[in-house]
Amino acid sequence: MKCSEFLHELTNYLDGVLDEPTKVELENHLSWCHNCYVVCDTTKKTIEIYRDSQLYELPEDLRSRLRSAIMKKCQQHKKRGPESV
Amino acid sequence: MGAIQNKLEGPVSDELTLVRAAKQGDDSAFEELVRRYDRNVFRIAQHITQNREDAEDVVQEAFLKAYSNLAKFQEQSKFYTWLVRIAVNEALMKLRRKKPERTVSLDEDIKTEDDSLPREIADWSPNPEQQYTQGELQEILSKTIQGLPPGFRTVFVLRDVEGLSTEETAAALELSVPAVKSRLLRARLQLRERLGRYFQKRESGDGKQ
C-alpha cells in the first residue's frame, strides 16, 4: 500500500468500516511508515478532541428560555392555523 | 489504533411514539422532542453560523418549522435527521444573509480531486489538550473550525461531533455518500493540520504558544 492509498482509506479506517484484508494491509503500512502513522494518530485525536470538547454547549438558563419561546410560538401557530409560518 | 466509536447513539425507539403523539396535537410530546434535541441543534447551528445569536434564532426557527410541517414528515427517516436538515438549511440561510457577496453553499471550496498527503506531518505531544485550560482549548477549537468553509465544517460537525452516520449525514445535507466521505476526509485533515500549530511536540519550553 502506498501513502496515497492509505490516505484514501483513512476515513473508512477511522470509521471502522474497512473490510478485513484492506485493514490488515493498512495496519501493515502503518507499522513501518512513520509519517502515515502520525497522520492517522493525530487525525484520530483531532476527532476525539472536538467530540469531547463540549464546544457550544447550550447553558441551562438559555435552554429553558429558548424552549419557552419555541412552545409559545408553536401555540400561536396552532391558533392562527397552518398559513402562519 | 482502532476505529472511533460514535458517542451519539440516541434512543430512537420512542422517538416515533413522540412524533405520532405530536402529530395528533399533543404539545407536551413535541416539547419532549425539543428537550431531546435542542442541544444538538444549537451546536450544529453555532458551528455553521459561528454566531451565538444566530444560533439561538436557528434553534427557534428550526423547531417551529418542524412543528408546523410535522404532518408532512413521512417517517421514512428518523425525526432527528429530518430536523437536522431543517436546521442546516436555516443556518445556511443566515450565513447567506450575512455574507451576500459570497455564495454560501455546501459545495463551496470543495476540491475533491486533491487527495495529496498533508504538508505538515509533525507529531503532537501526548494529551496535547491538557496543555491548555478548558477556556483556551475551546477558543482554539472554535477558531480552528471557523477557518474551514461551511461545506467542510457542516459535514465534520454532523459526522464527527454529532455522530450521525455517513448515510444520515448524506440524507440531511442532500449529498451523495461519496461526497460526504470526500468532504469529511478533507475536513478532518485540514483541522488536524491547523490544530498541529497548537499541539505539536516542542523541542523545549512548556508547549504553549
Contact residues for A83 (Cβ-Cβ < 8 A; gap 6+): none
CB-neighbour burial class of residue B6 (10 A; exposed 0-12, middle 13-18, buried 19+): middle
pLDDT > 70 in chain B, percent = 80
Q: Which domain holds residue B155?
A: 128-199
Mean pLDDT of chain B: 85
- With cell 425539543, the residue in question is B34
pLDDT > 70 in chain A, percent = 95
Final residue in a domain of this structure, among B76, B98, B120: B98
Helix axes B79-98, B15-23, angle to 10 degrees: 70
Q: How many alpha carbons lie under 13 Å from residue B162 in its C-beta half-sphere?
A: 29
Look at residue B135 and tell me if it is in a domain.
Answer: yes
Domain boundaries defined on chain A: 3-84
CATH of the domain at B161: 1.10.10.10
Q: What global pTM score does this model have?
A: 0.85
Final residue in a domain of this structure, among B98, B116, B148: B98
Whether B79 contacts B21, CB under 8 Å: no
Class of A3-84 in CATH:
mainly alpha
Same domain for B86 and B133, yes or no, is: no
Quickly count: other Cβ atoms within 10 Å of residue B154's Cβ. 25
Angstrom CA distances, B11 to B17, B70, B122, B188, stand at: 12, 20, 40, 27
- Contact (CB<8Å) B38/A41: no
Look at residue B3 and tell me if it is in a domain.
Answer: no
Work out the average pLDDT over B143-151: 92
pLDDT > 90 in chain B, percent = 65
> Which of B65, B117, B138 is facing A85, going by the closest CB pair?
B65
Reported confidence tier of residue B191, pLDDT bands at 50, 70, 90: very high
Look at residue B148 and tell me if it is in a domain.
Answer: yes
Same domain for B24 and B86, yes or no, is: yes
User: Residue B40 corresponds to which amino acid?
Assistant: N
Question: Does B208 score more than 80 pLDDT?
Answer: no
Which of B65, B61, B77, B47 minimizes the C-alpha distance to B162? Answer: B47
Look at residue B103 and tell me if it is in a domain.
Answer: no
pLDDT digits (tens, 9 = 90+) for A4-63: 899 999 999 999 999 999 999 999 999 999 999 999 999 999 999 999 988 999 999 999
Indicate the range of A79-83, B19-23, B57-61, B150-154 predicted with least confidence: A79-83
Number of domains in chain B: 2
Contact residues for B151 (Cβ-Cβ < 8 A; gap 6+): B105, B106, B107, B108, B109, B110, B183
- Contact (CB<8Å) A45/B124: yes
- Contact (CB<8Å) B27/A74: yes
pLDDT at B125 (0 to 100): 86
> Which of B4, B7, B35 is facing A67, going by the closest CB pair?
B35
Of residues A27 and B120, more confidently modeled: A27
